[in-house]
Amino acid sequence: MTSHALNAPLDYLPAVPEMLLLGMACVVLLVDLFLREEQRGVIFRLSQLSLLGTAAAVLLVHDPLPRIIFGGTFVADRMSDLLSVVILVVSLGVFTLARRDLEARGIQRGEFYALGLFGVLGMLVMVCAASLLTLYLGLELMSLSLYAMVALERDSARATEAAMKYFVLGALASGMLLYGMSMLYGAAGTLDLHALRNHGEWAGSHDMVMAMGVVFVVAGLAFKVGAVPFHMWLPDVYQGAPTSVTLYISAAPKVAAFAMFIRLLADGLGAQVSDWSPMLMVLSVLSLAVGNVVAIAQSNVKRMLAYSAISHAGFLLLGILAGSSAGYAASMFYAVTYALMALGGFGMVILLSRAGFEAERLDDFKGLNQRSPWLAAMMLLLMFSMAGVPPTVGFYAKLAVLDAVIQQGMTWLAVVAVVFSVIGAFYYLRVIKLMYFDEPEETAPLKAAVDGQVAVSASGLAVLGLGIFPGALMGLCAAAFLGV
């Protein structure tokens, strides 16, 4: 990506959104100290205002030309601006849906929103990283927030166990990633991603230290997206964490993880594509196979969606391993649309839950059409999209990725992906069958919060709308990789 460095005092303008979010997160922490239990709604509204304000700031300071600031450690370009807005909008929906779940569990505390804002800040830093150091700082800020959020329900043994697993395995993955980065620094003598790429082009494939660094980096990245065989944490964390936290983990962080892949592999290690592309190929095929096959055996919705996320990670990696601008754009489109699908899917679990009851079982979706035809229709759209059924956006996202892979001459890989997608369609269609053809276990009409219904409906309608008119979003994704 071409760029121009900035040097005037006002040229720190591209980082204003991150500064604003940092300030607001600190304000949320301080204000929470002085509020009584019945005033917790103030923190919720303040958090929503923070996300909206930050999204507005991103749009206001947007510039089509890439800008590099802070001594070459921070870049603002089309990709960072688009993904930042997506992360903020999705997080807005997450907070809206999470509120009722937190109230039902009795953990409606300011810590969730403060940690959530700091996690979003970490994601924005990852998206805008132009240096190995910035990338790692953003990742750790996001990860530490997530570890604490999983353990938010302190009286739950299951949540505590999930948090411990996540923390231990996450620390191991971070160590591998950091070790890989240190090897890259040792080989190239720089932390700057652009300079790292230049060194890779000069050194070629003969630098063994750099090649080993690539191996460790890819392993650390694979953990963050839950790719097989680094997926062990994902089903247990998704099931053990409070649903509101699972919703948070499943959506926006996947977009940030995609940005990390692009910054490290495309921007920093683009010259080593012959080293990391075969590794991504293995990770992708394994993720598609394990995710889709094991999901069939699940009776818990959260675990089913966890294995679904693993299979989607496989598709995400397919676009990246193509190593072309079309592949990167298709993968970016996939990441954005998957965040919308995950938001709606886990949002439905929250809407079906109530105080003392969590709708985790597949059987809890029985007869949903009789209890709430509209929400059943939204879940139908979301499941169709995850399965890749037209005219939903999931179909177009998969098609774009497969097209990019075929253009690189890897037709067999596209065939493998299609076969496992067909297998995976079974467990999505099973949910639809339960909603429309089975008798409900409860006959009372579903009473769900209006704001939660609006968030899920917006997600379902967006999935349909983007499937019918994908051109605008795909155009933005393609524009982010012009000249790559």
Give the tens place of pLDDT for each residue, 1-38: 444 444 445 578 888 999 999 999 999 989 888 877 77
What is the number of helices (H) and of strands (E) in the chain?
A: 20, 3
Specify burial of residue 59 (Cβ count, 10 A radius: 0-12, 13-18, 19+): exposed
pLDDT, averaged across the chain:
86
C-beta separation of 285 from 416 below 8 A = yes
pLDDT band at 57 (very low <50, low <70, confident <90, very high): very high
Nearest-angstrom CA–CA distance, 273 and 214: 10
The stretches of 204-272 forming alpha helices (DSSP H) are 208-225, 233-240, 243-250, 252-261
pLDDT for 5: 47
Nearest-angstrom CA–CA distance, 461 and 455: 10
C-beta separation of 336 from 255 below 8 A = yes
At 305-326, the pLDDT tens digits run: 999 999 999 999 998 888 788 8
C-beta separation of 291 from 421 below 8 A = no
Q: Give pairs for 18-21: CB < 8 Å, separation 24+.
A: 18/54, 18/121, 18/124, 18/125, 18/128, 20/50, 20/53, 20/54, 20/57, 21/50, 21/51, 21/54, 21/117, 21/120, 21/121, 21/124
Residues 6+ apart with CB under 8 A from 213: 180, 181, 182, 183, 184, 186, 187
Which of 1-5, 154-158, 351-355 reaches the highest mean pLDDT?
Answer: 154-158
Whether the pLDDT of residue 396 is over 80: the answer is: yes
Specify burial of residue 62 (Cβ count, 10 A radius: 0-12, 13-18, 19+): middle
Specify burial of residue 106 (Cβ count, 10 A radius: 0-12, 13-18, 19+): exposed
Q: Which amino acid is at 210?
A: M
Residues 6+ apart with CB under 8 A from 27: 46, 50
Residue 309 corresponds to which tokens in the numbers above? 């996320």
At 224-264, the pLDDT tens digits run: 888 888 888 888 889 888 888 999 998 889 999 999 999 98
Nearest-angstrom CA–CA distance, 407 and 186: 35
Q: Which amino acid is at 246?
A: T
This model's pTM is above 0.85? yes
According to DSSP, the β-strands at 4-5 and 67-69 are parallel
Angle at which helix 273-295 crosses helix 411-437, to 10 degrees, equals 30
C-beta separation of 333 from 471 below 8 A = no
pLDDT over 70 percentage in the chain: 95
Higher pLDDT, 121 or 206: 121
Residues 6+ apart with CB under 8 A from 351: 97, 375, 446, 448, 449, 452, 453, 456
Nearest 5°: CA angle at 282, between 278 and 283? Answer: 115
Domains in the chain: boundaries: 10-479
Phi, psi of 447 (to 5 degrees): -110, 110
Residue 424 corresponds to which tokens in the numbers above? 């995976």
Q: Which of 120, 130, 142, 134 is nearest to 18 (CA)?
A: 120
pLDDT for 205: 57
pLDDT for 144: 92
C-beta separation of 460 from 378 below 8 A = yes
229 cis-preceded (ω within 30 degrees of 0): yes
What is the arithmetic mean of pLDDT over 387-408?
A: 91
pLDDT for 2: 42
391 cis-preceded (ω within 30 degrees of 0): yes
- Direct distance between the N- and C-terminal alpha carbons of the chain, in angstroms, rounded to an integer: 6
The stretches of 128-156 forming alpha helices (DSSP H) are 132-150
Residue 14 Cα distances to 90, 124, 241, angstroms: 21, 12, 35
Cα 79 from chain centroid (whole Å): 15
The stretches of 226-352 forming alpha helices (DSSP H) are 233-240, 243-250, 252-261, 273-295, 301-321, 325-352
According to DSSP, the β-strands at 74-76 and 4-5 are unpaired
Residue 94 corresponds to which tokens in the numbers above? 């997450």
Q: Which of 161, 181, 180, 158 is nearest to 169 (CA)?
A: 161
Instruction: Determine which of 2-16, 277-291, 297-311 has the lowest per-residue pLDDT on average.
Output: 2-16
Whether the pLDDT of residue 173 is over 70: the answer is: yes
Phi, psi of 156 (to 5 degrees): -95, 120
